Structure formats: C-alpha cells, structure tokens
Amino acid sequence: MDLMEQFLSNLPDLKHLELNLHVLNDLIDGKRWEILANCLKTFRFKFYVQSTLNLNDLDSFRTSFWLEEKHWYIDYWNNCIFSLNQSSPIDIDINQSSFNLFTQSEDTINNMYINQITIQEIPIKKINCFIHVKILDIKCSISREMILSMVDLKQIEHLSVLKMTDLLNFLPFEFTIPNVYELTIKQNVTFSMIEQFRSYQFEQIRKLNIDLNFAEDVIFKLLFYRFPNIEYFTYQSLTCSKDIMIHLIDGFPCLLNASIFIYRLPKDMKSNFYPNQNTIIKNSHRLKKNNFTYRIRKCLDIQKSFSIDWWIAPQHMYKENSL
C-alpha cells in the first residue's frame, strides 16, 4: 500500500483510475484508499488477493464516503475484490467454493448489474440470486431449480450450454426464459439430440451459434424446423462445401448474416477462392444479384483455419427492388 500511495502522490490531477492487480491483503484498506481516491470521479478496480477474506475485512469500505458520497460498492468473489457501478457491469464465475461478501445490501448490488454469470460447478454454499443477469453460460450438469436459485431466467438474453439436450431444462422457452434471443451450443450437435425435441420450435431465437462435425442434410432440415426465425448464424465445422453454405442460407428464410468457421477449405473453393457469383446464384432460390456479399479470410486462431462470412439483404428489400 505504501508503494501505491507514493505512486499516486505524483498524479495530483488524476480524475479517473482503473486498476487490475494481484495484490497482498494490505491493499484492502478502505480508509487509506479513501484519502487517495477523494478527488477521483471514477475508480474501478479488481484486486486478486492471495488469501481468503471474511466479512470484517470489508468494513473499511462501508463508510459514508464509499456508500453515500461516491456510491462505490465493493464485492468479494472467489478471492477477488472489485468495485461495482452501473457504467461497468462485470462477469463472474460460479464454482464449488464460490461465496460472496458485499459492502451494501444484496438488492443494491443486484441493481448494480452483474452482467454475465458462468456456472462452472454447483457451489457448495448457497449464494444470493442475481436478478439482472443478461448472459448465462452453463458449463456443468445442473437442474433448473438450482439455476433458478442463482439467476432470474426471465432477464436472460443470451443462453450458452454445453449440449443441445441441456435445453430440455428450459422448455418451454416462451415461459421459462422469455427474453432470450441468442443461443450458443458448444458441443457437437447430432441428429439424435435434435430429435429429442419432437415438434418443439425455438421461435424466439434470432441468433444461433453451434458446432457440427459433419454437415448432413437431415440435420440441417431439423435445424431449419427447430429454429425458423434465425437472423444471425455462426457455425463451426471440419469443412463445409459451397453447396452446403447455400443450402443453409436458403433454409433459414430470415437469415441476414452467417459466419462459418472451418478447419480446411472445401474442395469446390480451393481452385477458385472466390467462385463466380453466377455459380452461387444459380444454385440458390434466395440469393440474387446485388442482394448478398461474402468474404473468405484466414483466421489467426489456428483452431479455425478459415472464416467465410455472408451478408444477405432482408427479403422484403430485394422483393421491392425487383418490382
């Protein structure tokens, strides 16, 4: 803490400060920070501490300076102490050892917007329910009841799960998780997984991100039925031919943008990196002249060798232009 005081004493006109540090516990001193931060307009920090804190360790951040004058609230989560404010929502991970300490009531903290929660493991201790979470990332097997004890599902806009069958927990979407519009499925989607949903359709989903090892026509037909209103589609696969890409665009009638990440360039695009537009149009009932564009680029991520991005005009636009 002495070094921090010495450093900041050389910056008398400083108004905005943001720190992200691994620190010793002596830096967790609200009284000394009160002197240093007195003239700051914004103070955002995230301190990773070496040892576990307890409730009394945050007493120095519960003064009128922090809570009433500055409205800076402090949270402690998984050996990390950080400031909360509306202009910088944060993301947190939940695991077995998760627990949290607040310098203000839980309702106030929840209203300061924890934006994203990633559930790595089911916590041993009960944690408070976060009521303004917009992004929920589930990376373990967990019941809907347990999820409901942690987050308000009616606020979720982007849901990420490991397997497509994990979505069975949330059916019907329109009642359980009514505001979700983006869905990410991390593991490979298979025919048997999609079949388990019988006649159910995810009508509210507008943005879909999935993995497919093999581009089979029967899987795509089921996806087109399950997700009838997709506007943005991200798809990762070993490879994907030009014909399959066109099939995807035709199959999702509302599609505006598709990004396809593949590990190797398909045979029908190796000899001609950018095929003639006419060869694309003649195989599609949706793509017309001047209503789409696309690009192929080499990815920096070695796990995704190429990205093929498509932009398609809304159908009503080119229907009007054709009149």
Strands (DSSP E) found in 182-264: 182-188, 207-211, 232-237, 257-262
Out of 29-33, 113-117, 224-228, least confident range: 113-117
228-287, pLDDT tens digit by residue? 999 999 988 877 777 888 888 899 999 999 998 887 776 655 545 455 677 777 888 888
* pLDDT for the residue 177: 95
Query: Please, which pLDDT band fits residue 108 given cuts at 50, 70 and 90?
Result: low
Q: Are 19 and 45 in contact (CB under 8 A)?
A: yes
273-292, pLDDT tens digit by residue? 455 677 777 888 888 878 88
* pLDDT for the residue 233: 96
Q: What percent of the chain has pLDDT over 90?
A: 31
* pLDDT for the residue 271: 46
46-84, pLDDT tens digit by residue? 888 877 777 677 888 888 998 888 888 887 777 788 887
Q: What percent of the chain has pLDDT over 70?
A: 84
Mean pLDDT, rounded, for 294-304: 73
Mean pLDDT, rounded, for 204-227: 88
**What's the pTM?**
0.76
CB-based burial label for 75 (10 Å; 0-12, 13-18, 19+): buried
168-196, pLDDT tens digit by residue? 999 999 999 999 999 999 999 988 999 99
* pLDDT for the residue 97: 54
Residues across the chain: 323
Mean pLDDT, rounded, for 308-322: 71
Q: For all residues of the chain together, what is the average pLDDT?
A: 82
Comparing CA positions, the residue from 243, 252, 266, 192 lying closest to residue 221 is 252
* pLDDT for the residue 96: 54
CB atoms within 10 A of CB 22: 11
Structural domain spans, the chain: 1-88
Task: Report whether pLDDT(198) > 80.
Answer: yes
Query: Tokens 């009284």 — which residue?
Result: 31
Q: Are 180 and 207 in contact (CB under 8 A)?
A: no
* pLDDT for the residue 283: 81
